[in-house]
């Protein structure tokens, strides 16, 4: 059990932070929030690079940081790894020695540490890179080396600060595949809603240096408490079966996929990617379906429209388009979305019904 | 990074040439007056050879002491926040600004035979530093250490502390992190610091003669030998001066300036 229970304050320079949440038995936690909302500070606090000024941090059954009892476990004695954005791979060590580093820290001889490191590199498909130095690696390779190194410590808790930012699609997929297989409790700071859906089942949402909402993924998606969260999770989720480039929703609607997939999957697309038409649309969008308008919600210049039909989804359009279409509750309308806007996820998240 | 194929503005070129001339012309003057015919004979005299080896021993010992004391000092000045940091930094850098003679005088009143520590060293352990090689090493270290510390401090300030944090996260203790991550990251500035402090110690004169005195057997390094010769035998002085130029220049050329200038 590595549930985290944090309730406390900290101060960095002139900035004050107040964090309060618990993760219970959940093992896939995403930390989300706008830029500068305290996500990295929260990770650093858990890792012991910052300390609380009041309150307490509990991981599993042990207290790690509690100013009132003068308890503070230093970072190197915490059974967790914080992986900085960019990976922080040691530039003066080869890939092999980077990955052997945690073994060396544990007191293994150089030879044993290296041979264990080579096994890990083998698992990660990085064997060819073992004698290279970090400056010779691509961004994706660096990310994988960093992850391999973090995992050789066998941490109970892995804290990742934007592990896939600035990576190409192929590398992002490789990193996600590794993370999906992991048994370790995972804290991921992410800016990408699709990544959050893929990797987590529990959310801690921050805004202005405070936790504004935390809980299981579905509850946050369905009842976001702030405009930023609403926008972040403004996604349609549809489950069904993929065969090659074709997706058949549970209700029988056929959609085109951007890549080949097979088996039970979910597809997601932002509501802003849905276009509405009065007559069956022609043109490049391959995916279109007929729906009934069952809900309208106006926010400033945007209208969020609930569409019901063979599956439920949302479309967000501007007020001007809304007025032009002259639509009202109960009207029938055509919706379309480009196949390139679809993201395919493994079928783990209960879709909104 | 050097830029090729880009025209250098003439005004910059001319000013740079002037600066170079200021540095180079004195050596031309020295070389032109040096009695080359008797160069080898004077340079291999026993007293000169002894001065050369004394200079080498003192400069090298001093650089080693700088290495041991200077790395922690520079690192703490760069990374640790404490009250009085500014005063500590000012004191550390003082010998760079102070005339070496003043430094030597201060050393004399602290570690000399009558100095408040020197007196105790003498009565408790029977150690006297003036007129010994150990005293000359202390004088040379006194003026050379700030160069070393400055070199470490400036690059430790720029050091990416995320790497040290990563090391802690991967289970390495703070001291292990210092040796396996911090020191290797500081490698080039450590080498630069060694070269700088060695060079400074080699040329040290004022503090040495004030504190360690002029003892032909123990403290008469090349600069002191040069000073003595200048009053008695100018020809000898020129040869010794030229000898120092040759030694220093060959060291600098060997290092190709690599360690001194970070690129």
Among 1.10.1040.10, 3.40.50.12780, 1.10.3720.10, 3.30.365.10, what is the CATH number of B47-255? Answer: 1.10.3720.10
Task: Report domain extents, chain A.
Answer: 4-89+137-227, 236-346
pLDDT mean over A49-63: 92
Tokens of A345: 């996820």
Q: What pLDDT is stored for residue B73 in this prediction?
A: 94
Q: Per-residue pLDDT tens for A191-213?
A: 988 889 888 889 999 999 999 99
pLDDT of the residue at B263: 44
Which residues on chain A are in Cβ contact (under 8 Å) with B188?
Answer: none
Domain A4-89+137-227 sits in CATH 2.60.40.10: no
* pLDDT confidence of residue B140: 94
Q: Which residues of A touch B (CB under 8 A)?
A: 47-49, 74-76, 80-84, 86, 88, 90-92, 101-102, 104-106, 149-150, 153
DSSP state, residue A75:
G
Nearest CA in chain B to A44: B165
Q: Mean pLDDT over residues A241-247, rounded? A: 88
Which residue of A lies nearest to B161 if distances are taken between CA atoms?
A88
Q: Which two tokens stand for residue A207?
A: 């805004």
What tokens appear for A33 in the block? Answer: 């929030």
Domain ranges of chain B: 47-255
Minimal C-alpha gap between A87 and chain B (Å): 9
User: What rounded mean pLDDT belongs to chain A?
Assistant: 88
For residue B159, the 8-state DSSP code is: S
pLDDT at residue A350 greater than cutoff 70? no
Measured between beta carbons, which residues in chain A are less than 8 angstroms from residue B160? 88
Q: What 3-state DSSP class applies to A60?
A: coil
A82 and B167 in contact by Cβ < 8 A? no
Task: Tell me yes or no: is domain A236-346 CATH 3.40.50.300.
Answer: no
A344: pLDDT strictly greater than 70: yes
Burial class from Cβ neighbours inside 10 Å (0-12, 13-18, 19+) for residue A173 reads middle
User: What span, in angstroms and rounded, lies between the C-alpha atoms of B144 and B140?
Assistant: 6
Q: Compute the nearest-CA separation of B161 from chain A (Å).
A: 10
Which of A266, A271, A244 lies closest to A256, judged by CA? Answer: A244
Residue of B nearest to A49 (CA): B165
Alpha carbon B107 to chain centroid distance? 17
pLDDT in tens, B105-143: 999 899 888 888 888 888 888 888 888 899 999 999 999
Tell whether the model's pLDDT for residue B4 goes beyond 70.
no
Q: Select the residue of B166, B173, B177 nearest A88 (Cβ to Cβ).
A: B166
What ipTM was predicted for this assembly?
A: 0.78
Express as a percent the part of chain B with pLDDT over 70.
95
What distance in Å separates the CA atoms of residue A50 and residue A131, rounded to the nearest whole number? 35
How big is the A-B interface in CB pairs under 8 Å?
64
* Chain B residue with the nearest C-alpha to that of A104: B172
Best of A50, A75, A162 to substitute, by most chain B Cβ atoms within 10 angstroms, is: A75
pLDDT above 50: residue A352? no
From chain B, pick out residues whose CB is under 8 angstroms from the CB of A135.
Answer: none
């Amino acid at each position: 059990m590595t549930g985290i229970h944090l309730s406390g304050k900290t101060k960095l320079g002139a900035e004050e932070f107040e964090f309060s949440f618990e993760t219970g038995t959940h093992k896939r936690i995403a930390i989300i929030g706008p830029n500068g909302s305290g996500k990295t500070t929260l990770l650093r606090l858990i890792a012991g690079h910052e300390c609380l000024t009041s309150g307490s941090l509990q991981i599993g059954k042990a207290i790690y940081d509690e100013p009132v009892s003068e308890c503070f476990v230093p970072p190197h004695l915490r059974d967790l790894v914080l992986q900085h954005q960019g990976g922080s791979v040691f530039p003066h060590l080869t890939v092999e020695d980077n990955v052997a580093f945690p073994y060396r820290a544990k007191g293994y001889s150089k030879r044993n540490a290296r041979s264990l490191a080579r096994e890990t590199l083998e698992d990660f498909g990085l064997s060819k890179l073992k004698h290279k130095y970090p400056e010779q690696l691509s961004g994706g390779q660096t990310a994988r080396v960093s992850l391999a190194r973090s995992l050789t410590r066998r941490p109970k808790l892995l804290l990742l600060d934007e592990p896939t930012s600035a990576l190409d699609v192929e590398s992002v997929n490789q990193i996600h595949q590794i993370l999906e297989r992991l048994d370790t409790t995972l804290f991921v700071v992410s800016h990408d809603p699709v990544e959050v859906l893929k990797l987590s089942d529990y959310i801690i949402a921050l805004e202005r240096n405070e936790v504004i909402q935390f809980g299981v993924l579905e509850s946050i998606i369905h009842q976001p408490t702030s405009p930023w969260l609403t926008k972040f999770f403004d996604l349609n989720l549809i489950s069904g079966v993929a065969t090659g480039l074709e997706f058949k929703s549970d209700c029988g609607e056929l959609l085109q996929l951007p890549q080949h997939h097979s088996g039970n999957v979910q597809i997601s697309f932002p509501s802003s990617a849905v276009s509405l038409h009065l007559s069956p649309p022609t043109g490049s969008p391959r995916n279109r379906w007929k729906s009934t308008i069952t809900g309208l919600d106006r926010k400033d210049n945007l209208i969020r429209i609930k569409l019901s039909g063979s599956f439920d989804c949302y479309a967000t359009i501007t007020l001007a388009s809304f007025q032009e279409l002259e639509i009202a509750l109960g009207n029938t309308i055509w919706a379309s979305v480009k196949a390139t806007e679809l993201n395919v996820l493994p079928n783990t998240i209960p879709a909104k019904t | 990074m050097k830029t090729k194929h880009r025209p250098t503005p003439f005004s910059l070129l001319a000013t740079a040439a002037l600066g170079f001339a200021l540095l180079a012309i004195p050596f031309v003057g020295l070389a032109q007056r040096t009695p080359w015919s008797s160069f080898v004979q004077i340079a291999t005299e026993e007293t000169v050879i002894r001065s050369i080896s004394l200079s080498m021993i003192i400069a090298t010992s001093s650089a080693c002491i700088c290495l041991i004391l200077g790395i922690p000092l520079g690192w703490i000045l760069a990374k640790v926040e404490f009250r009085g940091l500014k005063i500590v930094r000012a004191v550390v850098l003082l010998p760079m600004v102070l005339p070496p003679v003043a430094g030597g005088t201060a050393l004399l009143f602290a570690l000399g035979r009558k100095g408040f520590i020197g007196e105790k060293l003498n009565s408790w352990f029977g150690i006297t530093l003036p007129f010994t090689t150990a005293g000359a090493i202390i004088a040379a270290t006194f003026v050379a250490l700030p160069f070393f510390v400055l070199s470490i401090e400036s690059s430790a300030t720029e050091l990416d502390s995320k790497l040290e944090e990563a090391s802690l996260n991967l289970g390495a203790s703070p001291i292990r992190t210092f040796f396996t991550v911090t020191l290797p990251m500081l490698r080039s500035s450590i080498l630069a610091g060694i070269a700088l402090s060695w060079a400074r110690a080699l040329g040290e004169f004022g503090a040495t003669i004030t504190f360690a005195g002029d003892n032909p057997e123990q403290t008469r390094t090349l600069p002191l030998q040069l000073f003595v010769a200048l009053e008695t035998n100018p020809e000898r002085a020129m040869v010794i001066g030229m000898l120092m130029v040759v030694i220093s220049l060959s060291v600098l050329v060997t290092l190709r300036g690599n360690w001194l200038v970070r690129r």
